[in-house]
Structure 1
Amino acid sequence: MSLLDLTVRNVKRNFRLYSIYLFSMIIGVIIHFTFSALMFNGDVLDTLSNRQNFKNGVTIASVVIFLFIILFILYANSFFMRQRKKEFGMYLLLGLSERQITLMVFYETLFIGAISLVTGILLGGLLSKLFGMLLMNLMQYDQVISLSFPIQAIGSTVGLFLLLAFIISVQSLVMVRRVQLVELFHAKEKMEKPIKPSSLLAILAIILLVSAFIVISRGIESAMWQDHATVSMIVVAVGIIGGTYLFFRQFAGWLLQVIARRKKYHEGNTVLWTSSLRFQVRGNTLNLTFISLFSAAIILLTCFVTINYKVQFEATGRNLPNDIAFESLDAATNGKLDSLIGASAHAVKDHRTLIALTAEQTTDKEVTFDNSDYYLPGLLLVAEKDYNDMVDYRGHGDRRVDLQAREAVSLSQGTDVENRYSAGNLPKVGVQTNSTAATATEFELVERRDYALLGWSTDPLTSMDKKPAVLVISDEAYQELRENATAKSFEIYAIEDAKNAEALSKEVHAIVSQTEGAYYSSFADVYSVQIESSSLLLFASGFLALIATFALASVIYFKQLREATEEQRQYAILGKLGVNNREISSVIRKQLLFVFVPPLLLGVLHSWFIIKYSILDSVQDFPGLVNVVFGILGAYFLIYLLLYLSSTSLYYKIVTQKTA
C-alpha cells in the first residue's frame, strides 16, 4: 500500500476529526480571500476619494490577518497532531520512518488544502461582495458592488496555503521527532497534578486587580496620571496581567479548595465537577489568562473604533460648522464666488456675512485657548448679538451668551473640558485692536467654551490646517472698540448636500487662495477624508475583531474537545457506577460554567474600566456612546453564551458516546 492510499484511508476512517481540521482550513481561506478580494475590487477603489489611504490601511490590515490565519491554522494542526499521536506511534512500530509519516501528513494537507481553496474562494467571493456593500454603507456611499474574483486575490490565497502546507509539514516533523515511541502510545493518558493553592497568593491576585482598577478609575486627567504616568501604567499592566494570571492559578484553586471543605461537599454532584476542575487548574491557567486578556483586547478595540466612527460624524460638523466660509475679498471677487456657488448643483439655503474686529492678545494665549499652536495668528472679536444670531440659526439655542461690560467668552474649540470660571476667579485677557494704542483693553474671561463659530481653515488637498481664535465680547464693548479697530468680514454659506461638494469646494478655494493668507473653510474638504478614514478603521478593526473572536472560540473549542476526549474513560466509569446521562449533563454544565464565566467577567471588567475612564469620560458631550458600548458588550455576551452552549453539547456527546 502506497502512502497516497494510506492517506485516503486515514481521511475516510477519521472523517470526524478531519472534518474539524477541514472546517478550520476553509474558514482561513474565506477570511483571507474575502479581505484580499475587497482590496482589489474595482468598484470600491473607484468610489473612494482617498484611494491611497485605503490601500495603505488595507495592506496593514491584510498583514495582520495573514499572521492571524497562520497562527490559527498552526494551532488547529497542533491539536490535530496531538489527537493522532497514538496513530503515529503505530506507524513507527510497523516500520514507517519519520520522513514517510511527514510526507503522508503533507499529502493530507495538500488534499485538505485543495478542497479548502475551492470552497473558501467561492464563499469568500460572495462574502467580499457583502462586506464591500457594508463598507460603502459605513461611508454613506450609494455604490453598487459587483461580485468579483480578482486574480491578485486568488494568487495571494494560493500562495498563502502553499506556504502553510510547507510550515505544517515542518511542524508535523518536529512533533513526531520530539516524542518517544512509548509516549506516543500514552499521549492521551497523562493527567495533570492538582496544584496546592496559597491563600496569600489568592489574596494578592485580588489586590493586584483592584489596584489596577483604582488607578484606571482616577482618569487620565488626574494628577496621578499627569504627574506619574509611567508608574501608573506599570501598576495597571502588572495589576491586570499579573492579577489575572494569579486569579486563575491561585484564587480559582483556592476557591475550589474552599468548596471541597464544605460539609455538604459530597451531596449532589459537587464532588464530580469540582474534582475534575482541580486537576485542570494547572493546565488551564495560561489558556484562561489568555482568553481573559484577549477578550478584553477584542472588546476594547471594537468599542474604540465604533466610538471613533460615531464621534467622527458629529465631530466633523463641530469642527466645520459652515458648509462654505471664506474671508470677504473685493466686491468683484465676492460677486464671482456668489455666482459660482449659486449656479452649482448645491442650492444655497442661507448666506450671511459675519463681521469681526481684528486684534492681538497681549496676555498668555494658553489661558484663553487650549493648544494655542492650533490657532491662526491674531484674534477675532465678535459681538454678542452676532454670535447669538448664528447659534440661533444653527438651532443651538442652549449655546447663547449673556455678557456685560468687559466680560468675554473664548471659543476654545476642541477643549476636552469646558471651563466656566467662578465670579471671584476670572482670568484677565488683554486685547489690543490698534498697534498705535498706548494701552490694551482688558476683558474678564467668564467661560472657555468648546464651540466653533468659524471652523478650521481647510484645503481640498491637505484637509484641515488651523482655526481662527475667536473671542465673543459684549455688544457695548464691541461698539466701543469698533471705532479704532480694523474689521474683517466673512461670507458664510449653507448649501444642499454639503458632504458631496468636493468639486465646488475646489473651484471656490482656487479663487480665494489667490489672495495670500485669506481664510477659507469647507465642510466637504474634511468630511470625505474623516468619514472614509474612520469607516475604514471601523471596517478593518471589526474584521480583525471577528477573526480574533473566531480564533478565541476555536481555542476554547479545541481545548474542550481535547479534554472531553481525555475524560471519556472517567465518564464511562461513572456510567457503570450508575450515574445517568442527565446527571452527567449537569456535571458538564457546571464544570464548563466555571471555565467560561470567570474569563468573560474579567475580560469585560478590564475593558469596561479602560473604556469608561479613558474614552467615554473624554467624550461625554457626544450622546448615545454608552449605549453603543453596552450593545457591544451584549453582543459579546451572546457570542460567549452560544459558545458555552455548543461546548457543553459537544462535550456531552463525546463523553457519552461509549456510555449511552
Structure 2
Amino acid sequence: MSLLNMTFRNVQRNFRVYTIYLFAMITGVMVHFTFSSLMYNQDILDVLNNKESFQTGVSIASVVIFLFIIFFILYANSFFMKQRKKEFGLYLLLGMKESQITRMVFFENLLIGSFSLVIGILLGGLLSKFFGMALMNLMQYDNVITLNFPYQAIGSTIILFLLLAIIASIQSFFMISRVQLVELFHAKEKMEKPIPSSFIMAALSLMLLATEFFLISRGKESSIWQDHLTFSMIAVTVGMIGGTYLFFRQFSGWLLHKIRQKHNYHEGNRVLWISSLRFQIRSNTLNLTFISLFSATIIFLIGFVSINYAVQFEAVGRNLPNDIAFQSLDKETNEKIDARIKNSEHSIEYHKTLEALVGKPNTNMDLAFENPEYFSKDVFLFPEKAYNEIISLRGNQEEIDLEDMEAVSLSQGTDSPKSFPSDQLPRFKVNVNEDITLKLIEKKDYALLGWASDPVQSMLLKPAVLIISDEAYQDLKSKAKTVHFEIYEIENEKQAESLSTDIHAIVTKKPDTYYSSFADVYSKQIEGSSLMLFAAAFLAVIALFALASVIYFKQLREATEEQRQYSILRKIGTADRELKSVIRKQLLFVFFPPLVLGILHSWLILKYYILDSVQDFPQLTSMLWFIFAIYFVIYVLFYLSSADLYYKIVNQKY
C-alpha cells in the first residue's frame, strides 16, 4: 500500500479527530484571508484619508493573527500526535521508517490544508464583504463594499498554510523520533500522581494575589506607584503570574485535600469527581494558569479598545470644539475664506469674531497649564463675556463670573481640573506691555479655541487661554496687543476635509498663523480607533478560538484516558444521570476559577488605570459590564459543550 493510500485511509478512519483539525484549519484560513483581503480592498482604500496608516495597522495585526493561527494549529497537531502514538508504534513495528511516517503525516496535512484553503478562501471572501461593511460603519462611512478576492490575499494565505504544513510535519517528526517503541504502546497508560499540597504554599498563593489586587487598587496617582514604580510593577507581575500559578498548583490541591478529609466525603458522588481532580492537578496547572491570564488579556484588550473607540467621538469634539477657527487676517483674505465656506456644501450655523489680548507669561506655565510643552508660548486673555457667549452657543450652561483680577485657565486635557480655595489662590504673572498679576480661581479641562491642526499632521499645539473679568479686560485693552479669531460652526462638519484643506492653505500663507479644524482630526482619529477596535475584535475571535482549542483538546484527551474508569462505573450500575453530574462538577471546578481570576485581573486594571482616567464618561462602566457578560456567556457555552463532549467520549464502548 502506498503512502498516499495510507493517508486517505487514515483520514477516513480518524475522521472524528480530523474533523476537529479540519475545522481549526478552515477557521484559520477564513480569518486570515478575511483580514488580509481587507488590506487590499480598493473600495475601502478609496474612502480612507490615511491609507498608509491603515495598511500598516492591518499588516501588524496580520502578524499577530498569524502567530495565533500557528499556536492553535500546532497545539492541535501536538494533540493528534499524542492520540496516535499507538498507531505510529504499530507502523514502526511493521518496519516503516520514521521518515516514511513523517511523509505520511505531511501528506495528511497537505490534504487537509488544500481542502481548508479552498473552503476557507471562499468563506473568507464572503465574510470580507460583511466585515468591510462593519468597518465602514465603525468609521461612519456609508460606502458600498463589493465582494472581492484580492490575489495578494490569496497568495499570502497559500504561503501561510504551506508553511504551517511544513512546521507541523517537522513537529510531528521530532515527536515521533524522541519516543521509544515500548513507550508508544503504553502512551495512554501513564497515571499521574497527586501533588503533595502545603498550607504554607496555598496561603502564599492567596497572599500574592492579594498583593496584586491591593497595589492595582491604589491607582496610578497613589504614592506607592509614584515613588516606587519599578517595585510596584514587579510586585504586580509576580502576584498576577506567580499567584495564579500557585493558586491552581497548591491552593486547589490543598482545598481538595481538606474536602477529602471531611466526614461526608463519601456521600453522593463527591468521591468520584474530587479523586479525579486530585490526580489531574499536575497537568491542569499550566493550562488553567494560561486560561486565566489569557482570559484577562482578551478582556482587557477588548475593554481598552472599546473605551478608546467610545471616547474618541467626544474627545475629538473636546480637543477641537470649533468646526473651523483661525486667526483673523486682512479684510480681503477673511472675506475670501468666508465666501469659500458659503459656497461649499457646509452651511454656516454661526460665525463669531473673538478678540483677545496677547501676553507673555512671567510665571512658570505649570501653574496654570498641565503639560505646558503642548501649549503655545504666548498667553491669550479673553473676556468672560466672549467666553460665556461661545459656551452658550455650544449648549454648555457652566458660565463663569469673575471680579477684578480673577482668572480661569483653560488647561484642556488635564487629568486634574481643580477649583482653588479662596484663601490659596495661585498668582500668575503676565506681561501685556505691562506686568499684571492674575489670581487663578480655577483650572478647567475645557477648550475655547482648541488644538491648532493641520490636514496632514493632525494636532500641533494648543493655544494657552486665560479668561479674565470684563472690567480687567477693558482696563488692559488700550495698552496691550490684540488679536482676533474667526469661529465658524458649519453643517456636516465630519465630512469637511476638502473645505478645511482649502482654508488651511489660505490661512497658512502667513507663517505661524493659528488654524484649527474639527475635520482635520476627526477622520484620522475615528479611522485609527475604528481600526484598533476592528483588529482587536478579530484578535479576540482568534484568541477565543485558541482558548477553546486548549480547553477542547484537553477535555478530549482526559475523557479518552478515563473511558476505562467510566466503563467500570457503568458496569457496576452507576446511572447516566449520576455520571453526567460527576462530569459537570469536575469540569465546573476546572472552568470556574480561571474565569473568576481572569475577570478580576482585567477588571482591576481597567477600573483603576483606564476608567478612573475618563470619569467624564460614566456610560463606559456599563459598556465594560456588557463585555464581561458576553465573555461569561461564551465561557459558559465552552463549559456546556465540553461537558457534553466529555460525556459522549466516556460513554463510548471501551
Q: CA deviation at 1:518?
A: 1.2
Q: SS state of the match for residue 462, structure 2? A: coil
Match of 1:282 in 2: 282
Q: For each residue in 1:304-359, what CA deviation from the matched residue of structure 2 results, as whole angstroms up to 9, or x when unmatched?
A: 11101111110000000000001111111111111111111111111011111111
Match of 1:320 in 2: 320
Q: Where does 1:232-311 land on structure 2 (aligned, <5 Å)?
A: 232-311=232-311
Match of 1:102 in 2: 102
Q: CA deviation at 1:404?
A: 1.8
* 1:654 maps onto 2:649 in alignment: yes
Match of 2:61 in 1: 61
Q: SS state of the match for residue 469, structure 1? A: strand
Q: CA deviation at 1:483?
A: 2.1
Q: CA deviation at 1:226?
A: 1.2
Task: Provide the rounded CA distance (Å) in 2 between the counterparts of 1:108 and 1:329.
Answer: 74
Runs of 4+ in 1 over 6 A off after TM superposition: none
Q: SS state of the match for residue 463, structure 2? A: coil
Match of 2:615 in 1: 620
Match of 2:488 in 1: 493
Q: For each residue in 1:58-84, what CA deviation from the matched residue of structure 2 results, as whole angstroms up to 9, or x when unmatched?
A: 111111111211121111111111111
Match of 1:471 in 2: 466
Q: CA deviation at 1:658?
A: 2.2
Match of 1:77 in 2: 77
Q: CA deviation at 1:302?
A: 0.6
* 1:367 maps onto 2:362 in alignment: no
Q: For each residue in 1:584-618, what CA deviation from the matched residue of structure 2 results, as whole angstroms up to 9, or x when unmatched?
A: 00000000000000000000000000000000000
Q: CA deviation at 1:570?
A: 0.5
In structure 1, runs of 5+ residues without a counterpart are none
Match of 1:187 in 2: 187
Match of 1:379 in 2: 379
Match of 2:447 in 1: 452
* 1:535 maps onto 2:534 in alignment: no
Quick one: which amino acid aligns to residue 444 of structure 1? K
Q: Where does 1:404-553 land on structure 2 (aligned, <5 Å)?
A: 404-434=403-433, 437=434, 440-553=435-548
Q: SS state of the match for residue 95, structure 2? A: coil
Task: Provide the rounded CA distance (Å) in 1 between the counterparts of 2:405 and 2:143.
Answer: 54
In structure 2, runs of 5+ residues without a counterpart are none
* 1:163 maps onto 2:163 in alignment: yes
Task: Provide the rounded CA distance (Å) in 2 between the counterparts of 1:533 and 1:165.
Answer: 35
Q: CA deviation at 1:506?
A: 0.9
Task: Provide the rounded CA distance (Å) in 2 between the counterparts of 1:593 and 1:196.
Answer: 22
Q: CA deviation at 1:28?
A: 1.1
Q: SS state of the match for residue 64, structure 1? A: helix
Q: For each residue in 1:21-44, what CA deviation from the matched residue of structure 2 results, as whole angstroms up to 9, or x when unmatched?
A: 111111111111111111111111
Task: Provide the rounded CA distance (Å) in 2 between the counterparts of 1:512 and 1:96.
Answer: 80
Q: Where does 1:194-209 land on structure 2 (aligned, <5 Å)?
A: 194-209=194-209
Task: Provide the rounded CA distance (Å) in 1 between the counterparts of 2:403 and 2:262.
Answer: 74
Task: Provide the rounded CA distance (Å) in 1 between the counterparts of 2:515 and 2:8.
Answer: 71
Quick one: which amino acid aligns to residue 258 of structure 1? K
Task: Provide the rounded CA distance (Å) in 2 between the counterparts of 1:6 and 1:335.
Answer: 83
Quick one: which amino acid aligns to residue 31 of structure 1? V
TM-score, reference length from structure 2: 0.99
RMSD of aligned residue pairs (Cα, Å): 0.9
Task: Provide the rounded CA distance (Å) in 2 between the counterparts of 1:623 and 1:49.
Answer: 31
Is the 8 Å Cα contact of residues 71 and 546 (structure 2) preserved in structure 1?
no
Task: Provide the rounded CA distance (Å) in 2 between the counterparts of 1:359 and 1:637.
Answer: 57
Match of 2:561 in 1: 566
Task: Provide the rounded CA distance (Å) in 2 between the counterparts of 1:217 and 1:477.
Answer: 46
Q: CA deviation at 1:260?
A: 0.6
Q: SS state of the match for residue 329, structure 1? A: coil
Q: For each residue in 1:405-443, what CA deviation from the matched residue of structure 2 results, as whole angstroms up to 9, or x when unmatched?
A: 221110000001211111222111112211xx3xx2111
Task: Provide the rounded CA distance (Å) in 2 between the counterparts of 1:629 and 1:44.
Answer: 29
* 1:575 maps onto 2:570 in alignment: yes
Match of 2:13 in 1: 13
Q: CA deviation at 1:376?
A: 1.1
* 1:594 maps onto 2:589 in alignment: yes
Q: Where does 1:195-234 land on structure 2 (aligned, <5 Å)?
A: 195-234=195-234
Match of 1:332 in 2: 332
Q: For each residue in 1:282-321, what CA deviation from the matched residue of structure 2 results, as whole angstroms up to 9, or x when unmatched?
A: 1110110010001000101111111011111100000000
The count of residues paired between Structure 1 and Structure 2 equals 654
Task: Provide the rounded CA distance (Å) in 1 between the counterparts of 2:108 and 2:255.
Answer: 45
- Percent of aligned pairs with the same residue? 65
Task: Provide the rounded CA distance (Å) in 1 between the counterparts of 2:461 and 2:405.
Answer: 28
Task: Provide the rounded CA distance (Å) in 2 between the counterparts of 1:623 and 1:591.
Answer: 40
Match of 2:131 in 1: 131
Q: CA deviation at 1:490?
A: 0.5
Quick one: which amino acid aligns to residue 69 of structure 2? I
Q: CA deviation at 1:535?
A: 0.7
Quick one: which amino acid aligns to residue 640 of structure 1? Y
Quick one: which amino acid aligns to residue 321 of structure 1? P
Task: Provide the rounded CA distance (Å) in 2 between the counterparts of 1:592 and 1:634.
Answer: 20
Quick one: which amino acid aligns to residue 428 of structure 2? V
Quick one: which amino acid aligns to residue 415 of structure 1? T
Match of 1:402 in 2: 401
Q: SS state of the match for residue 194, structure 1? A: coil
Task: Provide the rounded CA distance (Å) in 1 between the counterparts of 2:162 and 2:437.
Answer: 75
Q: CA deviation at 1:275?
A: 0.4
Q: CA deviation at 1:504?
A: 0.5
Quick one: which amino acid aligns to residue 402 of structure 1? D
Task: Provide the rounded CA distance (Å) in 2 between the counterparts of 1:70 and 1:326.
Answer: 53
Match of 2:22 in 1: 22
Task: Provide the rounded CA distance (Å) in 2 between the counterparts of 1:82 and 1:330.
Answer: 81
Task: Provide the rounded CA distance (Å) in 2 between the counterparts of 1:516 and 1:11.
Answer: 72
Quick one: which amino acid aligns to residue 120 of structure 1? G
Which of the numbers 582, 602, 609 marks the counterpart of 2:604?
A: 609
Task: Provide the rounded CA distance (Å) in 1 between the counterparts of 2:211 and 2:424.
Answer: 36
Task: Provide the rounded CA distance (Å) in 2 between the counterparts of 1:144 and 1:235.
Answer: 51
Q: CA deviation at 1:52?
A: 0.3
Task: Provide the rounded CA distance (Å) in 1 between the counterparts of 2:250 and 2:293.
Answer: 17
Q: SS state of the match for residue 409, structure 2? A: strand
Quick one: which amino acid aligns to residue 637 of structure 1? F
Q: CA deviation at 1:623?
A: 3.1
Task: Provide the rounded CA distance (Å) in 2 between the counterparts of 1:624 and 1:82.
Answer: 49
